[in-house]
Amino acid sequence: MFRKFWHGSRPDSTGLGLHLVKGLVEAHGGTVSVGPADVGPRPGARFRITLPAADVPERQVSQQ
């Protein structure tokens, strides 16, 4: 699903979206996972994107 140019059953898709998302998220130290969506009458997928928290110096936080 995260492979470049993979579009499953949608021939009108370029197959690049999830591949790009995964690459960008992983480049920032995060992860992307997929599982079944448990809501609604139609089957679907639920994507989870996890990114590490940024360390913001205390001085920058207090100035905002």
Alpha carbon distance 52, 30 (integer Å):
6
Instruction: Let me know: does 30 contact 44? Beta carbons within 8 Å.
Output: no
pLDDT of the residue at 49: 94
pLDDT of the residue at 64: 53
Give pLDDT tens digits for 18-29: 888 999 999 999
pLDDT of the residue at 43: 78
More confident residue, 52 or 60: 52
Instruction: Let me know: does 24 contact 46? Beta carbons within 8 Å.
Output: no
pLDDT of the residue at 44: 80
Q: Is the pLDDT of residue 5 over 60?
A: no
The stretch 24-41 carries a mean pLDDT of: 88
Alpha carbon distance 44, 34 (integer Å):
10
